[in-house]
């Protein structure tokens, strides 16, 4: 496929992530700098289907690099799962003459983009915007660093009160299918244990190590559990209370605070680099890929491959958790 892209659309889709605004800004400003017309599409694929599409100027993205959320809003869109829905979306893009798309979202959004680009002659470039960091083909995703730092800040605060009362807190962080937020924030806050969906939880072992530490009067304050872990924070707290009755246990679910807030420097930086690279891809006819960063270099993965893989949890990290909390 060799063709000239002149008008591009940008949208944010699926779960929101801090840093999406920085990515939008980079796409819009790079596009305009390179002589393209840039269109904002509201609420992900829903805006494509509803025709909620508007021309963006350089000023449209002024003063947003530091803001969480997404100025283009995001959504999950059922109609886009159907070929009829995608055809309506295509017709709406054509009305504006849009002949290239940048999709900022997670693996679901990439799946949609992949199917769309196979059915219609509009090349798509994905930018990984998800707090979960669960996409292979990039070392980092936009929003992960901010979410982890928010979790760390919150866990540090919980630890202060836990310590004052000699309590054990089971802290649930986000990650329905992915334990990266739990793993990173748990190590960074000195958690006793980190339970994640990618590994089967050995509950007897959790109890055994707690009892052993209890026996030698080592204070244990924090266990970090990812949302999608098999037991879940509440069930885990019940089991520990039953098995170690003199240990006071509390549950703290961090929830949506992890999605919001001003993006960290790191997230702003990768969002800016990736946004710039997305426009370059469209201009260089490097179509239907998603942009990642591996070993600090821009990396491109075909959209159809990007959606199939998941990153593996490094087992050495789990060993570090055990050793550092002993
Ligand atoms: P995320 O991008 O954060 O993983 P979702 O999995 O909810 O979020 O996907 C976002 C949107 O992408 C969906 O609501 C849908 O519009 C579109 N999408 C996801 N998977 C597909 C698919 N297989 N076919 C068409 N569209 C899809």
Same-domain pairing of 248 and 282 = no
Closest C-alpha residue for ligand 1 atom 5? 108
Among the candidates 198, 228, 259, a domain finishes at 259
Same-domain pairing of 255 and 271 = no
Q: Find the 79 Cα to ligand 1 centroid distance in Å.
A: 10
Q: Residue 253 is part of which domain span?
A: 145-259
CATH number at residue 203: 3.40.50.460
Same-domain pairing of 104 and 17 = yes
Q: What is the predicted pLDDT for the residue at 284? A: 97
Among the candidates 238, 259, 280, a domain finishes at 259
Task: Say if ligand 1 is within 6 A of residue 137 CB.
Answer: no
Same-domain pairing of 49 and 121 = yes
CATH number at residue 26: 3.40.50.450
Closest C-alpha residue for ligand 1 atom 20? 108
Question: 69 near 16, Cβ under 8 Å?
Answer: yes
Task: Say if ligand 1 is within 6 A of residue 290 CB.
Answer: no
Positions in the chain short of pLDDT 70: 1-2, 307-311
Q: Is residue 127 part of a domain?
A: yes
Element (H, E) at 299: strand 297-302
Q: Is residue 312 part of a domain?
A: no
Total tally of structural domains belonging to the chain? 2
Task: Say if ligand 1 is within 6 A of residue 39 CB.
Answer: no
Q: Is residue 322 part of a domain?
A: no
Same-domain pairing of 225 and 132 = no
Same-domain pairing of 237 and 159 = yes
Q: Is residue 1 part of a domain?
A: no
Same-domain pairing of 103 and 196 = no
Determine whether 132 is an active site residue: yes
Q: What is the predicted pLDDT for the residue at 264? A: 98
Q: What is the predicted pLDDT for the residue at 314? A: 81
Question: 184 near 258, Cβ under 8 Å?
Answer: no
143 vs 67: CA distance, rounded Å: 12
Burial class of residue 181 (count of CB atoms within 10 Å of its CB; 0-12, 13-18, 19+): buried
DSSP-assigned letters across all residues of 12-43: E-SS--TTHHHHHHHHHHHHHHTT-EEEEEST
Q: Find the 14 Cα to ligand 1 centroid distance in Å.
A: 6
Among the candidates 204, 236, 259, a domain finishes at 259
Same-domain pairing of 242 and 198 = yes
Same-domain pairing of 121 and 197 = no
Q: Which of 16, 132, 145, 267 is catalytic?
A: 132
Same-domain pairing of 119 and 188 = no
Task: Say if ligand 1 is within 6 A of residue 114 CB.
Answer: no
Q: Is residue 311 part of a domain?
A: no
> Which pair of structure tokens corresponds to residue 183?
């793993």
Q: Is residue 317 part of a domain?
A: no
Same-domain pairing of 14 and 131 = yes
Same-domain pairing of 42 and 136 = yes
Quickly list H helices, the chain.
20-33, 45-50, 83-95, 107-119, 144-165, 180-188, 203-215, 233-243, 265-283, 303-306, 315-324
Closest C-alpha residue for ligand 1 atom 22? 112
Burial class of residue 174 (count of CB atoms within 10 Å of its CB; 0-12, 13-18, 19+): buried
């Amino acid at each position: 496929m060799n063709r000239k892209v002149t008008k591009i659309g940008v949208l944010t889709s699926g779960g929101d992530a801090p840093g999406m605004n920085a990515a939008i800004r980079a796409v819009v400003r790079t596009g305009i700098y390179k002589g393209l017309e840039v269109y904002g599409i509201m609420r992900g694929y829903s805006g494509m289907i509803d025709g909620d599409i508007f021309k963006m100027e350089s000023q449209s993205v002024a003063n947003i690099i530091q803001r969480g959320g997404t100025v283009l809003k995001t959504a999950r869109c059922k109609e886009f799962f159907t070929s009829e829905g995608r055809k309506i979306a295509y017709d709406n893009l054509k009305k504006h003459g849009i002949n290239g798309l940048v999709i900022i979202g997670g693996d679901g959004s990439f799946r949609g983009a992949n199917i769309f680009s196979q059915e219609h002659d509009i090349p798509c470039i994905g930018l990984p915007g998800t707090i979960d960091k669960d996409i292979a083909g990039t070392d980092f995703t936009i929003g992960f660093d901010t979410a982890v730092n928010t979790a760390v800040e919150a866990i540090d605060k919980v630890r202060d009160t836990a310590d004052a009362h000699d309590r054990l807190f089971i802290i649930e962080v986000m990650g329905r299918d992915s334990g990266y937020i739990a793993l990173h924030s748990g190590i960074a806050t000195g958690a006793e244990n980190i339970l994640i969906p990618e590994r089967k939880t050995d509950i007897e072992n959790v109890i055994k190590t707690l009892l052993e530490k209890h026996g030698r009067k080592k204070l244990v304050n924090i266990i970090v559990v990812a949302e999608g872990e098999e037991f879940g924070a509440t069930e885990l707290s019940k089991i520990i209370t039953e098995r170690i009755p003199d240990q006071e246990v509390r549950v703290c679910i961090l929830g949506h605070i992890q999605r919001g807030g001003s993006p960290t420097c790191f997230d702003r930086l990768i969002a800016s680099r990736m946004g710039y690279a997305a426009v370059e891809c469209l201009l260089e006819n490097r179509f239907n890929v998603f942009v990642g960063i591996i070993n600090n270099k821009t990396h491109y993965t075909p959209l159809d491959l990007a959606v199939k893989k998941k990153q593996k949890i490094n087992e050495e990290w789990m060993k570090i958790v055990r050793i550092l909390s002993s």
